């Protein structure tokens, strides 16, 4: 008897190193039915945000084209996952459903429900590791619990063997023409008003785009990674995070390609150091998923319980000005405008704008987390949660609360000639380098020469950086000794 298998694709939109797909090809199946099920209601508040949906539309387009080039096609369905799978099983005669595992709380709960439902109906299921190097339950402290600090976590995993990536198939079996698909347009992932132009001009979603990004990084940036990674005006980072978010490339593909590149370029101590520095960022991604898996309430609640009683300010106007890049603090405004325009913001700026929101403005970190979720193309629940709790001082391996980034000093250090600020805050373009990060301190003559009137052409600072730092520390004093 011929058997058929459904491959349920989610955030693994690639052909190479796709264990579920490879297992199906290696199995005794005469038909493979690829499907993407659009069910945002099953992810509650953490369904993909607006920028992610723009990316997803183009990623699904690229993946569909790739499947068709091998003789298959991607089915698109929407609705409750169990209902969609039941219908597709009836239409295709499938006896098995395969997928690759994910680790955020609502997805885990949904997948368990789906697995039990299929088992109750005598449908074989199999799931596989594809999204991480090491699954969260496979890493534990000597005491047998989860890690809360990155350095010992990274020490525990950095020398572990990483599985060899799987090759992409050369061909795939045809999907019966009688099995229908909804159109991608019917999912309405792209906005009706074209605010996404900057995103679409900046990025090339899809598996090919991911590998092009990786090769560009290796050729142009890896050798100077430690030097350039913190300078937002330079292309010193990999820009792979949105491709990883949607599984257009997997982490073990990155690890193995870097090792190959080192071999090709006759690895030196300097190259090894640069590569290890970058690979530790892959480690941070692993750590974020480890923390979220073991502490599933952290997207909404601080890991440090003292912060439940922190006296956050309720300042909607301040939040809006931060969101709009109109705070009067150039590095903050530049970061927030880059985010709005491109769906991305440099990591140095992520830390800077998050510190400013949670400490100088004392707006609760959850508001920033939600804004990033809606505006970042690479918004990943694990990374987003870890990053915001780190910035607020209330999460795993968090920066001490008294570590408050001064955005003017950040600008002077990492954007010394003001190139980044001038790009995203053109109102200040003619201001001298020595004044561009603190225009409120510039003498009247310098402002006149640059055709700037503070309060008209560019905002006055929304807060005094020193005074707001003092107030934040005083607020922390109210809770720091709580148990």
Whether 365 is catalytic: yes
Q: Find, among 407, 412, 420, the residue nearest to 233 by Cα.
A: 420
For residue 68 the two structure tokens come to 């068709």
Whether 121 is catalytic: no
Evaluate whether 4 touches 92 at the Cβ level (below 8 Å): yes
**Residue tagged 């780190």 (tokens):** 390
Evaluate whether 297 touches 381 at the Cβ level (below 8 Å): no
Q: Which listed residue (182, 301, 347, 471) is catalytic? A: 347
Q: Which listed residue (124, 223, 281, 301) is catalytic? A: 281
Listed in sequence order, the residues at least 6 apart from 233 whose beta carbon sits closer than 8 Å to its beta carbon are 415, 419, 420, 423
Q: Which listed residue (99, 246, 261, 284) is catalytic? A: 284
**Residue tagged 């000794």 (tokens):** 481
Whether 388 is catalytic: yes
Listed in sequence order, the residues at least 6 apart from 407 whose beta carbon sits closer than 8 Å to its beta carbon are 329, 330, 331, 332, 352, 353, 355, 356, 437, 465
Tally of CA atoms within 13 A in the half-sphere of 249 that contains its CB: 27
Phi and psi at residue 52, to the nearest 5°: -65, -35
Q: Which listed residue (46, 371, 373, 388) is catalytic? A: 388
Residues pairing with 381 in the sheet: none
Q: Which listed residue (99, 322, 340, 365) is catalytic? A: 365
**Residue tagged 């150039």 (tokens):** 330
The CA angle 383-362-340, to the nearest 5 degrees, is 50
Cα–Cα distance measured from residue 393 to residue 305, given in angstroms and rounded to the nearest whole number: 11
**Helix locations, 203-346, DSSP H:** 207-220, 225-228, 241-245, 251-264, 269-294, 316-324, 330-342
Q: Find, among 288, 219, 228, 289, the residue nearest to 258 by Cα.
A: 219
Q: Which listed residue (312, 412, 419, 471) is catalytic? A: 312
Instruction: Collapse the DSSP code of 278 into the 3-class scheme (helix H, G, I; strand E, B; otherwise coil) and give the result.
Output: helix
SS3 content of the chain, % helix, strand, coil (to 5): 55, 5, 40
Evaluate whether 30 touches 2 at the Cβ level (below 8 Å): yes
Phi and psi at residue 37, to the nearest 5°: -105, 120
Whether 347 is catalytic: yes
Q: Find, among 66, 60, 126, the residue nearest to 94 by Cα.
A: 126
**Catalytic positions, written as ranges:** 281, 284, 312, 347, 365, 388
């Amino acid at each position: 008897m011929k058997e058929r298998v459904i491959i349920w694709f989610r955030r693994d939109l690639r052909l190479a190193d796709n264990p579920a797909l490879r297992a199906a090809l290696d199995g005794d199946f005469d038909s493979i039915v690829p499907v993407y099920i659009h069910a945002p209601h099953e992810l509650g508040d953490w369904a993909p945000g607006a920028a992610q949906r723009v990316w997803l539309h183009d990623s699904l387009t690229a993946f569909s084209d790739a499947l068709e080039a091998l003789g298959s096609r991607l089915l698109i369905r929407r609705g409750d996952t169990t209902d969609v799978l039941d219908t597709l099983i009836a239409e295709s005669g499938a006896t098995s459903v395969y997928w690759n595992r994910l680790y955020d709380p609502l997805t885990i709960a949904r997948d368990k429900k789906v697995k039990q439902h299929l088992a109750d109906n005598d449908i074989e299921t199999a799931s596989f590791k594809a999204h991480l190097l090491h699954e969260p339950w496979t890493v534990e402290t000597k005491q047998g619990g989860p890690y809360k600090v990155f350095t010992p976590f990274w020490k525990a995993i950095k020398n572990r063997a990483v599985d060899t990536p799987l090759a992409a198939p050369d061909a795939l079996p045809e999907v019966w023409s009688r099995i229908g698909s909804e159109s991608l347009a019917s999912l309405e992932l792209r906005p009706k008003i074209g605010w996404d132009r900057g995103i679409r001009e900046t990025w090339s979603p899809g598996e090919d785009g991911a590998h092009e990004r990786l090769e560009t990084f290796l050729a142009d940036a890896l050798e100077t990674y430690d030097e350039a990674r913190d300078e937002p005006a330079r292309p010193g980072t990999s820009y792979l995070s949105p491709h990883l978010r949607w599984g257009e490339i997997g982490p073990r593909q990155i690890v193995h390609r870097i090792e190959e590149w080192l071999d090709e370029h006759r690895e030196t101590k300097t190259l090894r150091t640069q590569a290890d520095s970058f690979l530790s960022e892959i480690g941070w991604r692993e750590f974020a998923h480890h923390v979220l898996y073991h502490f599933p309430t952290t997207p909404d609640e601080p890991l440090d319980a003292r912060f439940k009683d922190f006296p956050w300010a309720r300042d909607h106007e301040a939040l809006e000005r931060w969101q709009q890049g109109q705070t009067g603090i150039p590095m903050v405004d530049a970061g927030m405008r880059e985010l709005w325009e491109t769906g991305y913001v440099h990591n140095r700026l992520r830390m800077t704008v998050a510190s400013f929101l949670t400490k100088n403005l004392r707006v609760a970190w959850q508001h920033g987390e939600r804004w990033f979720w809606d505006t970042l193309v690479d918004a990943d629940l694990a990374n987003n949660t870890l990053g915001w709790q780190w910035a607020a001082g209330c999460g795993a391996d968090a920066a001490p609360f008294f570590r408050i980034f001064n955005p003017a000093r950040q600008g002077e250090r990492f954007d010394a000639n003001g190139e980044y600020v001038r790009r995203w805050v053109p109102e200040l373009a003619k201001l001298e380098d020595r004044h561009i990060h603190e225009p409120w301190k510039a003498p009247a003559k310098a402002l006149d020469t640059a055709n700037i009137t503070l309060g008209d052409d560019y905002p006055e600072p929304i807060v005094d950086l020193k005074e707001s730092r003092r107030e934040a520390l005083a607020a922390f004093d109210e809770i720091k000794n709580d148990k």
